[in-house]
Amino acid sequence: MNPSPSTTANVSEAEPFPAGPAVRRPTRQVRIEWGGKSVAVGGDAPVMVQSMTNTDTADAIATAIQVKELALAGSEVVRITVNTAEAAREVPAIREQLDRMGVEAPLVGDFHYNGHKLLTQYPECAQALSKYRINPGNMGAGKKRDDNFAQMIEVACRHGKPVRIGVNWGSLDQDLLARMMDENGRRARPWDAQSVMRDALVVSAIDNARRAEELGLPGDRIILSCKVSNAQDLIAVYRDISRRCDYPLHLGLTEAGMGSKGIVASTAAMGILLQEGIGDTIRVSLTPEPNGDRAREVVVAQEILQSLGLRAFAPVVVACPGCGRTSSTVFQELAADIQSYLRAQMPVWRLKYPGAENLHVAVMGCVVNGPGESKFADIGISLPGTGEQPVAPVFIDGQRSVTLKGEHIAREFQALVEAYVENRYSKR
């Protein structure tokens, strides 16, 4: 048992309670390249954020615009559907359009059923893409599936592209599952069906990766994923596959759902795995709300990684939840405004003020925790609660700096934040 923390007389010699994520699982490193640039997945690379468009890829303009929006939000890789000849034909135009707009994100083609044909018939598409996503469960059955798979791997080898072999619960190889169910029946103590299905997902991903290597694709051009729609299954499957291979892993809860349900389920499942050092790239698959912002999935993915202290993407705003001590909505509005303002600045600040993503800002509702929390932040404001004097002290680097009052507190605080960032993070 750990001795209790010391008070005054006896200083405990016990080690402090450990904090932070486990050491990342060692993996090979895959490079996704385009136009002389590249991003790394696995190895010593930071956990990478990716996303997927929901436009019709045959509409090159709409797709390029959405890719740009996702990339500006911070998506480091963007996947697009390539499902028809029309879509495959437009892929080079989308890449060119992105290059013209200065969008720095590689494109991944998502293939099901006809990927072998599209990649072979449209070599410009195969070349313009930086990676192919292959689902072995959606390539036919028996010899036909093997041939189609081999054809896609052959294209990847010819163009020097990496692949993600992505198996899904909803499209699991039925031949393999049937065989594994039969084998399970011969066990002295058969597993339950759910366990066999989880095992089949892992076996399918690893077997197909090994087959790709036998067909000539180097092992450092393969990423794996085993997506399911239930958090506990995802945790079990990824813990299992992480012990059985050293390919980088793409993490994501498929069909996570809409709004808070999708965010919470994805965060719960991926948070546990990332804390255990499992996962090299993540995607949050949120069902878009009508007219909703597709880039939300990027923001959520970044916030998962930043909350765990794995990466920093945008300044953190610490805001209290509010309670009966403040009936005003001023601090809620200020917290929301500052958060959106900071995020909107990041595409420019990332280049102009390197390190600004580590900024901590506090916006607090009253004197109870306001000054204390504001002192811990780089810059913080403690707004007046009900019955308090209508003034808002601002703390900079732990010291009380100025006191704001009147109707323009929000604007003045924003100017102070901007000045702080400029002063602290300007390139010298």
Contacts to ligand SF4 by CB under 6 A: 320-323, 325-326, 364-366, 368-370, 385
* Structural element, H or E, at residue 425: helix 409-425
| Alpha carbons 351 and 328: distance in angstroms, whole number | 37
Closest approach, Cβ 383 to ligand SF4, in A, equals 8
* 3-class DSSP state of 333: helix
Closest approach, Cβ 365 to ligand SF4, in A, equals 3
- Rank residues 295 and 368 by Cβ distance to ligand SF4 and give the closer one: 368
- Rank residues 92 and 370 by Cβ distance to ligand SF4 and give the closer one: 370
Closest approach, Cβ 361 to ligand SF4, in A, equals 15
- Compute the Cα dihedral for 7, 9, 14, 16 and give only its sign: positive
- Rank residues 123 and 322 by Cβ distance to ligand SF4 and give the closer one: 322
| Alpha carbons 42 and 205: distance in angstroms, whole number | 17
Closest approach, Cβ 377 to ligand SF4, in A, equals 13
| Alpha carbons 379 and 305: distance in angstroms, whole number | 23
Structure tokens at 347: 């595409």
Does 323 show up as a binding residue in the annotation? Answer: yes
The CA dihedral of 99, 100, 102, 104, to the nearest 10 degrees, is: -10
Structure tokens at 290: 């009508």
- Nearest CA to 309 out of 363, 339, 271 is that of 271
| Alpha carbons 248 and 223: distance in angstroms, whole number | 5
Closest approach, Cβ 387 to ligand SF4, in A, equals 12
Closest approach, Cβ 322 to ligand SF4, in A, equals 5
Does 366 show up as a binding residue in the annotation? Answer: yes
Listing from the earlier edge strand, what are the strands of the sheet with 77-81?
222-227, 163-168, 131-134, 107-111, 77-81, 48-52, 281-282, 250-251
**CA geometry: angle 369, 371, 377, nearest 5 deg:** 100
- Nearest CA to 373 out of 353, 401, 357, 394 is that of 394
CB 125 within 8 A of CB 82: yes
- Rank residues 299 and 362 by Cβ distance to ligand SF4 and give the closer one: 362
Closest approach, Cβ 329 to ligand SF4, in A, equals 12
- Rank residues 272 and 404 by Cβ distance to ligand SF4 and give the closer one: 404
Tell me how far CA of residue 106 lies from CA of 64, 67, 351, 379, in angstroms.
12, 10, 19, 36
- Rank residues 209 and 364 by Cβ distance to ligand SF4 and give the closer one: 364
Binding residues for [4Fe-4S] cluster: 320, 323, 366, 373
- Which residues are annotated as part of the binding site? 320, 323, 366, 373
